[in-house]
Amino acid sequence: MSQDIMTAIAQKKKELKAIILAHYYQLPEIQDTADFVGDSLQLARQAAATDAEVIIFCGVGFMAESAKILNPDKTVILPEIKAGCAMADMADASTLREMKRMHPDAVVVSYVNTSAEVKAESDICCTSANAEQVIRSIPADKKIIFVPDKNLGAYIESQTGRKMILWEGCCPVHDELTAAEIEEQKQMHPGAKVVVHPECPPRVTKIADAVKSTAGILAYVKNTPEEEFIIGTEEGFLYTLQKNCPDKKFYLAKSNFRCPDMKYITLEKLLISLQDKYYQYEVREDIRLKAKLALERMLAIK
């Protein structure tokens, strides 16, 4: 049955001149169906560069919205409208405008895990893969407002020495990981390296052997001679790691390390979205132009 659906997806995708982009946290069968699988930065770059007429985004809302911001003349589809982001919901444009009034000289850096409205109020965006480079690109005498992930912000502070005004937001999935859970895994797997995502809280990043974005974790485990790893990020990423490094062993840092929003999209929903061209993302033009500038500034930093 799955093979029949995948064949139908491939046929419909060809008819529409579409590209399927998927995040590392998506279900294995979605990753296998995608033309490109990556983290937020890789997906943003792919969306900006594609010549496809239709972009099917297998991820969450802000990712599809960002693709539309960068591609106003293309059809951008999210196969399941319920696939949102709790962190993105923690930041709103009106509160950010008030914060900007309180700190008029500050540079606003917004994580891509934000709405188009928040990006439009920002000077530059970042992802977990390039946040450090983005912060280092800002003049040392400038204040920085970092929106909305306090954990990523705290980690970047520790790496750059820049104190920032941090928004009180977080990824609820990563934020729940505890140091005790890491220590428990280390006792069970004493030879394993601990590699965690920077959305994890400081109590976790401080005891990790490496703190990386998802793409960074993949590169780390590929290029290090160690053979066992405790992975501190969403469980869907283990499929990617095992696929790319079949001779290495991976242990999830905690049980039920799962983002429900990343699991909404199924093969059936993907096929329906191709057949019905639903759900299409639209962004109001005045907001899109401002948000596009913040995203393009991010993409310009190598």
What's residue 234's pLDDT? 98
Backbone angles phi, psi at 153, to 5 degrees: -60, -45
Confirm whether 301 is domain-assigned.
Answer: no
What is the rounded distance in angstroms from the CA atom of residue 43 to the CA atom of residue 155? 23
Higher pLDDT, 1 or 209: 209
- pLDDT single digits (tens) 274-297: 999 989 999 999 999 999 999 999
pLDDT digits (tens, 9 = 90+) for 227-274: 999 999 999 999 999 999 999 999 999 999 999 999 999 999 999 999
Q: Are residues 224 and 185 in the same domain?
A: yes
Q: What are the backbone angles phi and psi of residue 211, rounded to the nearest 5°?
A: -120, 115
Is residue 244 a part of any domain in this protein? yes
CA neighbor of 197 nearest in space, from 175, 180, 181, 179: 175
* pLDDT score of 199 more than 80: yes
pLDDT at 3: 84
Q: Are residues 78 and 7 in the same domain?
A: yes
Q: How far apart are CA 230 and CA 184, in angstroms?
A: 11
Domain assignment present for 299 = no
Band of residue 210 on the pLDDT scale cut at 50, 70, 90: very high
The reply to whether 250 and 269 lie within a common domain is no
Report whether pLDDT(104) > 70.
yes
Report the alpha-carbon angle 22-300-147, nearest 5.
Answer: 70
CATH number at residue 96: 3.40.50.10800
* 150-196 pLDDT, tens digit each: 999 999 999 999 999 999 999 999 999 999 999 999 999 999 999 99
> 188 is in which domain, residue-wise?
173-258
Question: Which whole number is the average pLDDT over 89-93?
Answer: 98
| 139 and 198 fall within a common domain | no
Angstrom distance (rounded) from CA 138 to CA 168: 22
In a domain, 302, yes or no: no
Q: What is the rounded CA–CA span in Å between residue 220 and residue 199?
A: 17
Asked if 61 and 83 count as a contact pair (C-beta separation under 8 A), the reply is: yes
Q: What is the pLDDT of residues 27-37, one digit of tens each?
A: 999 999 999 99
| pLDDT for the residue 1 | 58
pLDDT score of 302: 74
Contacts of 191 (CB under 8 A, 6+ apart): 226, 228
Residue 191 confidence (pLDDT): 95
Of 175, 217, 183, the C-alpha closest to 200 is 175
Does residue 2 register a pLDDT over 90? no
How many helices (H) and strands (E) the chain has is answered by 16, 12
**Is the pLDDT score of 126 beyond 80?**
yes
Average pLDDT over residues 45-63: 94
With beta carbons less than 8 A apart as the criterion, state whether 112 and 214 touch: no
Could you give the CA distance from residue 154 to residue 97 in angstroms, rounded to a whole number? 22
Q: Please tell me whether residues 28 and 101 are part of one structural domain.
A: no
